Structure 1
Amino acid sequence: MSRIEREKKIIGVMVDIYCKKKHKHKDGLCEECQELLDYSRQRLDKCKFGEEKTYCQKCPIHCYKKSMKEKVKDVMKFSGPRLLIYRPVDFFRHLIGK
């Protein structure tokens, strides 16, 4: 699986955890979270660094709109630690970048 595909997968898992826990959405994602996920995947598709990309937080180019960047940060702060509980394999893969 490519780095971009792994990033898409992990952001999908994080948004799913966030939506279920914060918005109490049981079936799929709420409209706001689906919009955020679609936007994030779109940004990953257009990443100029491709397979050489680093974590977005460390990237010299910030391609997210400010409002979306804040939403993603909230999702990651909330869902990141919970990955260890709900998806430990994904957590460790994300941690080591594999």
Structure 2
Amino acid sequence: MRKIDKEKRILIVMIKIYCRKKHRSQDLCEECRALLNYALNRLDHCRYGANKGFCNHCPSPCYNQANQAKIRKVMGFSGPRLIFYHPVMVIRHLLS
């Protein structure tokens, strides 16, 4: 599996956790769906491709400032909780 595909899977899970807990929505709400679509599109067009590192360490971020703040908020909330939902995914992500 490509690194970008792994990043996408993690991002999808994190946004779902965030939306379920913060917006009390079983499916993604419009705001979270729009953020997910934006983020997936940016990952598809990442200039670093297979050599991509973590987005928060990127020298040239893909996200605009508003969406970058939203993604940080989602990751800050969902990141610590992810270990309870998908522990193997978290360990693999941290080891990469």
Report the TM-score, using the length of structure 1 for normalisation. Answer: 0.95
Match of 1:43 in 2: 42
Runs (4+) of structure 1 moved beyond 4 Å? none
Look up the match of 2:16.
16
Q: How many residues align?
A: 96
How far apart are the structure 2 equivalents of 1:52 and 1:29?
30
Q: What residue in structure 1 maps to residue 67 of structure 2?
A: 68
SS at match of 1:92: helix
- Residue 81 (structure 2) pairs with residue 82 (structure 1): yes
Give 1:63 deviation, angstroms.
Answer: 1.5
Mapped to 2, the partners of 1:8 and 1:76 lie a distance apart of 13
TM-score by length of 2: 0.97
Q: Which residue of 2 aligns with 1:31?
A: 30
AA aligned opposite 2:41 = Q
Identity score, percent = 49
RMSD: 0.6
5+ residue gaps in structure 1? none
In structure 2, stretches of 5+ residues that fail to align are: none
In 2: Cα distance, 1:30 partner to 1:5 partner: 23
1:9-33 per-residue CA deviation (whole Å, 9 max, x = no partner) reads: 000000000000010001x200000
Letter in 2 for 1:50: G
